[in-house]
Amino acid sequence: MSRVLLASCGLVFTLLLILFLMFHHTHAGSMHSMWSDDDIAVLRSLRFSTQDVADKNRSNELLFREDAIELGRRLFHDTGLSGSGKVACASCHRPEDGYQDTQSITYQLDPDAMHRAPGLLGVALQDWFFWDGRADSLWSQALVVIESPMEMASSRLYAVRHLCTQYGGNFSELLQSCRGVDLSAVPVHASPRVADENWRNLGAEQRDKINKLFVVIGKSIAAFEAGLMPPISRFDLYVDALVEGNHARAATLLDEKELAGLKLFLNTQITGCINCHNGPMFSSSGFFAVATDTPGKPEHDRQRGVGILLDSEFNCLKWDEGDSGGCPKLQYIKNDPAETTGAYKVPSLRNLRHAPAFMHDGSLPNLGAVIEHYRTPAIFPLRHIDIRPAAMLPHQREQLLAFLNVLGTGVSRQEPQ
C-alpha cells in the first residue's frame, strides 16, 4: 500500500518537474513572442534608420557632395573661424564624447539662461535645432553659432575671408565665387550682427556675395554633420529579430528587466514616454513643457525661439535657393504662448551615454533623476504643462532605467541601413 503511494507520489512529482521545466524553458521566449502585430509596428517605427536624411535636408544641395563633406569636416575642427582664433565647433562638440560637451555641463547662452550642448549623433534627422528650435535647418544653425558673441564670436566677413584664404585653393570648384569677393580692402569684422557699420559700407553686391559664401560654410558643415550617426543599439537588433520572427535570438538581446522597461516606455497609461519620444531618434520633433524651468525666470524656451527664428534672414521663408519644397514648417508654425511657454524640443534618447547632465539646462544630474522628475513633476498652477505624473513603483523605475541605458549604448559602429 505505502509502496503504491510512494510510487504515485514520485510519478506526480516527476510530472510536475517536467511541466515546470517546460514552462521555464519557454517562458523567456514567450515574453518576446507576446508582442501583437500593432506592437511590432510601433517597435519598427523606433528602429534606427538614416532613411530621412535627404528629405530633412532638402534645402542643402551640398549634402552629398564629397568635397563639401571634407570641407565641412575641416571647418568643424577649425579654430580659425572663431573671433579669438581659439574655439572650434569641436571644442564644445567633442568627437570622442558623441559630439557633446562633457567638460562643462552648461554653456552660457545669456547670463540668465544656461543651455547644455547636446550631442550631434543623428542631428541631421531633426526638424529644428537648438533646445528652443531657433534654427529650422542644420546649415543655418551653424551660421548662428559663428556669429553668436557667446560661442564663436566671429562675423560672416571674417569667416568668409578665412574660408577663401585657407580653403579657396584646395576646394576651388566649391569656392569659385571667392574670386568675386574683395577681401583685401574690407575691414576684418562685418556682419549685420557684428560691426554693423562696416557691413553696410560694403555695398549690396559684396554683401550678397559674402552671404552666399557664408551659406556655403553652413551647408558644408551640415554635410559633414549629416554623416554623424548613433551606433546601432541592442534595441535595434532586438526589433530586427522580432520582425524576422526569431524569438530565440530576440531573447538573447534584451534581458527581462530591459524588456519590462521597454514595455513601460511604450505604456501610455503608466508613463506615456512614447507619446513624445518616438520615431527612429526617439523624438517627435515637437516642443513640450515638461516642467523643467522656473516660471518668472528669463528663459530661452520655444516662445523666444519662434521669435528669433521668424526674424532670421536664413530661415526657410527668407532664404530659399531652388526647389527645396517650400517652407510649410514656418507657414504653419505653432506660435501660441499658451503652448510654447516653458516648452523645449523633445531631445533624442540615443545620445545619452556621454551626457554629463540632462535637460536643456543640465539641471538633472543623471537618468535616475530624470525618471524621478517624470514621477513627480513640479506643478505650475498658472501654466500649461504637457505631462502628468507617471505612477511608477521603485522596481519599475529600475526597469525603465535599464531600458534607457540600452538605447544609449551601441553594439557596433557598423553603418545603419
Applying CB under 6 A, which residues contact ligand HEC? Answer: 87, 89, 91-93, 107, 109, 115, 117-118, 120, 123, 126, 129-131, 141-142, 145-146, 151-152, 221, 271-273, 275-277, 288, 290, 292, 300, 344, 346-347, 349, 352, 355, 358-360, 367, 370-371, 374, 386-387, 390, 400
Output the smallest distance, CB 85 to ligand HEC, in A: 13
Output the smallest distance, CB 393 to ligand HEC, in A: 13
Q: CA 359, CA 73: separation in Å to the nearest integer?
A: 28
Output the smallest distance, CB 120 to ligand HEC, in A: 6
If the CB atoms of residues 119 and 251 are measured against ligand HEC, the closer one turns out to be 119
Name which of 365, 347, 351, 367 is nearest 407 in CA terms: 351
Output the smallest distance, CB 122 to ligand HEC, in A: 9
If the CB atoms of residues 327 and 387 are measured against ligand HEC, the closer one turns out to be 387
If the CB atoms of residues 349 and 402 are measured against ligand HEC, the closer one turns out to be 349
If the CB atoms of residues 35 and 287 are measured against ligand HEC, the closer one turns out to be 287
If the CB atoms of residues 28 and 107 are measured against ligand HEC, the closer one turns out to be 107
Is 315 within 8 Å of 370 (Cβ atoms)?
Answer: no
The three three-digit cell numbers of residue 340, written as one number = 510654447
Output the smallest distance, CB 105 to ligand HEC, in A: 10
C-alpha torsion sign, points 48, 49, 53, 56:
negative
Q: CA 45, CA 39: separation in Å to the nearest integer?
A: 10
DSSP 132-163: T--BSSHHHHHHHHHH-TTTT---HHHHHHHH
If the CB atoms of residues 113 and 241 are measured against ligand HEC, the closer one turns out to be 113
C-alpha torsion sign, points 112, 329, 211, 199:
negative
195: left (phi over 0), alpha (psi -120 to 50) or beta: left
| H/E segment holding residue 405 | helix 394-408
Output the smallest distance, CB 107 to ligand HEC, in A: 3
